[in-house]
């Protein structure tokens, strides 16, 4: 995809994944507009920080009038726990806000629109079921239903020439997340260098399998879909690794004996446990670094 002379718009640009995407685009020499409802901060010359609420169509339109947008990575969303707590706000942001953005992309002739989708569109799947994009979507919560709606809306907008692509993402781990409801995803990496006793609480039972993806890999996948000449498909499962929770606990504690990992009693409902992401691998040759290797790097032991 030729992006010369245009900026790439990243919504949710100050979020966990958004910051990684913005950095990756910027490091590649791309001009970036980082859009977020959070207050703006000072930024490098190749990136504009824009404070904007995507539910406000007029405010969003002004961004498109001022900036020359060549492509979009849409990550702004109310996350699952907050969505259950505030369903009206979640619907407004995750569905209506996304629709506003699709409409602006149509009106201003944006070619490529990549959305951060979710594996929660599949709902709960059996432990032995390996889920591919061909499997039927059956979301079980408001967040997953909204993600499926955005995919369907995006498919409708393809009639206008918009190249819409969704990357269905699992649980994202790595340093720097600010989520209050699942802090363990970052603590696993951040506490590995600790020389003092530290406690991490993973809410799942030890026998449970969860699908994990490192934030840096997720950013690479999104940018690949943004910049690819022409993706064959409109939906891709993200490259995720199926990890047994008890194995994760043992590895973190082995890498740093100062860290104790407690486990809860929850099961990973609302998501698959095993994933087929061969569509992404075969089309783009995408490879990931195993999660345990990422942890070893964070611990300074690789």
| Residue 198 and residue 261 in one domain | yes
| Residue 107 and residue 218 in one domain | yes
The answer as to whether 260 is a domain residue is yes
Query: What CATH number should be reported for the domain holding residue 198?
Result: 3.90.25.10
| Residue 141 and residue 233 in one domain | yes
CA distances (Å), 200 to each of 46, 184, 186, 190, in order? 38, 6, 10, 11
The answer as to whether 279 is a domain residue is no
pLDDT at residue 45, as a whole number = 47
| Residue 110 and residue 178 in one domain | no
Which pLDDT tens digits describe the chain residue by residue (302 residues)?
Answer: 544 458 999 999 999 999 999 999 999 999 999 999 977 655 554 458 999 999 999 999 999 999 999 999 999 999 999 999 999 999 999 999 999 999 999 999 999 999 999 999 999 999 999 999 999 999 999 999 999 999 999 999 999 999 999 999 999 999 998 877 789 999 999 999 999 999 999 999 999 999 999 999 999 999 999 999 999 999 999 999 999 999 999 999 999 999 999 999 999 899 999 999 999 999 999 999 999 999 999 999 87
Is residue 255 within 8 Å of 296, Cβ to Cβ?
Answer: yes
Q: List, as one string, the DSSP characters of 80-120.
A: HHHHHH-HHHHHIIIIIIHHHHHHHHHHTT--EEEEEEEGG
| Residue 248 and residue 122 in one domain | no
For the segment 148-157, what is each residue's pLDDT rounded down to a tens digit?
999 999 999 9
| Residue 150 and residue 224 in one domain | yes
116: domain range? 7-171+212-237
The pTM is what? 0.95
pLDDT at residue 2, as a whole number = 43
Provide the domain count of the chain. Answer: 2
| Residue 51 and residue 74 in one domain | yes
The answer as to whether 192 is a domain residue is yes
pLDDT at residue 178, as a whole number = 80
For the segment 63-81, what is each residue's pLDDT rounded down to a tens digit?
999 999 999 999 999 999 9
Separation of alpha carbons 4 and 257, rounded Å: 50
Active-site residue flag, 122 = no
| Residue 81 and residue 202 in one domain | no
| Residue 157 and residue 70 in one domain | yes
pLDDT at residue 40, as a whole number = 63
């Amino acid at each position: 995809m030729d992006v010369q002379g245009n900026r790439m718009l990243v919504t949710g640009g100050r979020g966990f994944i958004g910051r990684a995407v913005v950095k990756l685009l910027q490091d590649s020499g791309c001009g970036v507009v980082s859009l977020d409802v959070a207050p703006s901060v000072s930024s490098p010359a190749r990136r504009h920080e824009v404070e904007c609420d995507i539910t406000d169509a007029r405010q969003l339109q002004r961004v498109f009038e001022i900036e020359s947008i060549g492509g979009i990575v849409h990550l702004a969303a109310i996350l699952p726990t907050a969505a259950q707590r505030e369903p009206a706000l979640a619907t407004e942001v995750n569905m209506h806000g996304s629709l506003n953005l699709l409409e602006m992309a149509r009106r201003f002739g944006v070619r490529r629109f990549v959305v951060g989708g979710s594996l929660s569109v599949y709902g709960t799947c059996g432990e032995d079921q390996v889920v591919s994009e061909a499997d039927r979507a059956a979301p079980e919560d408001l967040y997953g239903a909204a993600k499926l709606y955005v995919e369907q809306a995006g498919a409708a907008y393809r009639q206008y020439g918009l190249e819409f692509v969704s990357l269905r993402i699992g649980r994202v781990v790595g340093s720097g997340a600010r989520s209050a409801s699942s802090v363990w995803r970052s603590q696993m990496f951040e506490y590995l260098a600790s020389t003092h006793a530290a406690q991490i609480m993973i809410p799942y039972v030890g026998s449970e399998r969860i699908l994990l993806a490192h934030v840096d890999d997720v950013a690479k996948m999104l940018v690949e879909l943004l910049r690819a000449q022409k993706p064959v498909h409109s939906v891709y499962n993200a490259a995720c690794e199926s990890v047994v929770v008890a194995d994760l606990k043992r590895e973190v504690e082995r890498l740093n004996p100062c860290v104790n990992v407690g486990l809860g009693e929850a099961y990973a409902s609302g998501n698959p446990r095993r994933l087929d992401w061969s569509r992404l691998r075969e089309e783009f040759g995408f490879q990931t670094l195993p999660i345990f290797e990422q942890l070893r790097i964070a611990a300074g032991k690789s």
